[in-house]
Amino acid sequence: MSLMKMTAVELGSRIKSKEISAVEAARAALDQIKSVEDKVNSYVTVLDEDVVLERAARVQQEIEAGKLTGPLAGVPVAIKDNMCTEGILTTCSSKILSNFKPGFSSEAVLNLEKAGAVILGKTNMDEFAMGSTTETSYFGPTKNPWNTAHVPGGSSGGSCSAVAAGECFYALGSDTGGSIRQPSSFCGVTGIKPTYGTVSRYGLIAYGSSLDQIGPVAKDVTDCAVILDTIASYDAKDSTSVKREYDFASALKDDVKGMRIGIPKDYFGEGLDSEVKEAVLNVAKTLEKKGAIVEEFDLSLVSYAIPAYYVIASAEASSNLARFDGVKYGYRTEDYEGLHNMYKKTRSEGFGPEVKRRIMLGSFVLSSGYYDAYYLKALRTKALIKQAFDKAFASYDMILAPAAPTTAPKLGDSLSDPIKMYLGDIYTISVNLAGLPGISVPCGIDSKGLPIGAQFIGNCFDEKKIIQAAYSYEKTRDMMLSDMCV
């Protein structure tokens, strides 16, 4: 089991130095999956043992031949089930894609494979990434490895629980409104949502295209930076891909002297759990002691981010999910009369309640007569939120905030009241609206024994600043938060 406690970068360097083989690492991960998967349900699909071990053996040969020299060569990884993987079931945790085996792989997955990644399987998620608990999955909920009566968060709940439970060495997630950062905080792992346009969305099954970003989930900041360096690329196949500098790992420096860190007062008021508040403010104190300049400020507009998000994300979802019609791929209803009835029955049987709720809301806000009042209003609000962040980043290098208002709720407590569930995204959602990078790092454990996450938010393209601050904070943390509880 000690092998599975290694970070991805530690394992990669031991594979390189021939202390461990890629095959041994893959076998250890598969063994751990076997022993805990029925308790946590992190995966929708675990690949056949033969397939995984064969790939690991091939990667090992290429390492020995000197063809693969990167830090992640031979390291086993899990992929969120909304990223296409050639020949491997890709379901988005939905009935409508329950039989879909893509004929191609997403760009982020190809980038990992080029670096010698060994894919273990596809992780569970909220259906089409719509949810904050991984309970809306067609394949049943994932459970939090720290306490299986609690949710892992969502929508990348399977990726985060797989990392926390040692069922992989790292994972890819996607983040539209907090779907990497919130479950990372609930599962005691580290996750980055990069600046919009940094990782190609080619092959990521779209939810809210103007907000979706792929990012790493791992045991520590070093892993996240190295993984992000590997998956980020300019891609002509994604029209919103941005040409930019990477080299995120060069920011792994233990130094925050002179860094200006802003604490938004409006993020620490009503609705924030007192233990979470204390833990996140302790992060500020720690960084201050190390030489950072910490100041409180008013970010403003905080309470408008969630309603604006749900209009924009639902509108984009209603358009993006129009492609699921039972013609080209996926589920098709058994009995139907004519084309339109086939579309309607396929979609009604294939989508779950939360997905239908958002498709309907999105169709409504885009319909004639309501477009200006709802959709354009939300886009104008988004512009104001972006301005508020621009103003903040004129004074601060980064913003420190909680990743979520509470620690992980109990299974079954969230879905009954959608708006209450949506409020859980209050600290993460505006980051997506403004296209900013954010990282969630574990910063404590509450009295229930559940992990707490702190979030560093940077200006667009300023990943390096938040990586450096998160890394510096991590150096002071004495507890090993990735100690598994399963």
Partner 1 sequence: MANIISDETIEYVGILAKLELSDEEKEQAKKDMGSMLDYIDKLNELDTTGVEPMSHVFPVNNVFREDVVTNGDDRDNILANAPEEKDGAFVVPKTFD
Task: List residues near partner 1 by CB under 8 A.
Answer: 99-103, 196-197, 210, 236, 239-240, 242, 301, 303-304, 306-308, 310-311, 318, 322, 325-332, 336-345, 347-348, 351, 356-357, 359-365, 367, 374, 376-384, 386, 418-419, 434-435, 460
Nearer to partner 1, 149 or 384 (CB): 384
Instruction: Given the residues 21, 42, 80, 184, select the one marked as catalytic.
Output: 80
Instruction: Given the residues 106, 156, 161, 179, select the one marked as catalytic.
Output: 179
As a whole number of angstroms, the distance between CA 195 and CA 460 comes to 6
The minimum distance between CB 441 and partner 1, in angstroms, equals 24
Nearer to partner 1, 385 or 441 (CB): 385
Residue type, 475: K
For the residues of 356-414, what is the DSSP string, one character each? HHHHHHHHHHHSTTTIIIIIIHHHHHHHHHHHHHHHHHHH-SEEEEESSSSSPPBTTSS
The minimum distance between CB 270 and partner 1, in angstroms, equals 15
The minimum distance between CB 222 and partner 1, in angstroms, equals 28
As a whole number of angstroms, the distance between CA 12 and CA 118 comes to 12
Residues 411-448 as b/e (b if ≥16 CB within 10 A, e otherwise) read beebbeeeeebbebbbbbbbbbbbbbbbbbbbbbbbee
Burial of 236 (0-12, 13-18, 19+ CB in 10 A): exposed
Burial of 204 (0-12, 13-18, 19+ CB in 10 A): buried
Instruction: Given the residues 93, 155, 159, 430, select the one marked as catalytic.
Output: 155
The minimum distance between CB 276 and partner 1, in angstroms, equals 23
Nearer to partner 1, 327 or 479 (CB): 327
Active site residue 303: no
Active site residue 155: yes
Nearer to partner 1, 296 or 390 (CB): 390
Sequence-distant (≥ 6) Cβ neighbours of residue 331 within 8 angstroms: 95, 96, 97, 98, 99, 346, 349, 350
The minimum distance between CB 384 and partner 1, in angstroms, equals 6
Nearer to partner 1, 2 or 416 (CB): 416
Nearer to partner 1, 297 or 304 (CB): 304
For the residues of 120-157, what is the DSSP string, one character each? EEEE--SGGG--SSS-S-TT-----TT-TTB---SSSH
Active site residue 367: no
The minimum distance between CB 212 and partner 1, in angstroms, equals 13
Catalytic residues: 80, 155, 179
